Amino acid sequence: MININKENWNNMLHHEEALVIFVHTPFCATCQLAERMLTILEEADHAQSFFRMNASFFPEFMEQQKITSVPALLLVKDGVVIDQLYAFESVTKLHNVLEGWKQKQSIQQ
At 106, the pLDDT band (50, 70, 90 cuts) reads low
CATH class for the domain made up of 2-108: alpha beta
Query: For residue 78, what pLDDT is reported?
Result: 83
Task: Please state the pTM of the whole predicted model.
Answer: 0.90
Would you list the domain boundaries of the chain? 2-108
Tens-digit pLDDT profile for residues 51-101 = 999 999 999 999 999 998 999 999 998 888 999 999 999 999 999 999 999
Q: Alpha carbon of 41 to those of 15, 58, 60, 85, 89: distances in Å?
A: 22, 25, 29, 16, 14
Q: Name the burial class of residue 75, with classes exposed (0-12), middle (13-18) and buried (19+) by CB atoms within 10 angstroms of its CB.
A: buried
